[in-house]
Structure 1
Amino acid sequence: MKEKTNCNCCINYIFDEEYNCYGCQVDLDEDEMVRFMGKSYDNCPYFQFNDEYKIVRKQK
């Protein structure tokens, strides 16, 4: 079973002020970019959950 990934929750999905939109900061190759733009990018090998509280929990 493929794991679904949500770019909105990924640490690599950042806001680009120059283009005024969100995008993946990972240097994707042409095939990966086509999948990303087509929103069919399941089981992304670059996905890292953006957990801003992870550091705080480790400090306790």
Structure 2
Amino acid sequence: MNKKSSAKGGKKNSQLVLRLDKGERDAFVELCKELDTSAAREIRGFIRKFMKENGES
């Protein structure tokens, strides 16, 4: 499996557990729903952008 196929559409095989204030988490999830996206999608996007901007591929 090449790098591109594993990064897009491949089965996810790892988790990142975060501890957040319940109100903050609920507000984020609700905002994502209003914007027709998911919290997980937005967090994955943030991680990818952060890594790209900071020299990781």
TM-score by length of 2: 0.27
Q: Name the structure with the higher helix share.
A: 2
Q: Name the structure with the higher strand share.
A: 1
TM-score by length of 1: 0.26
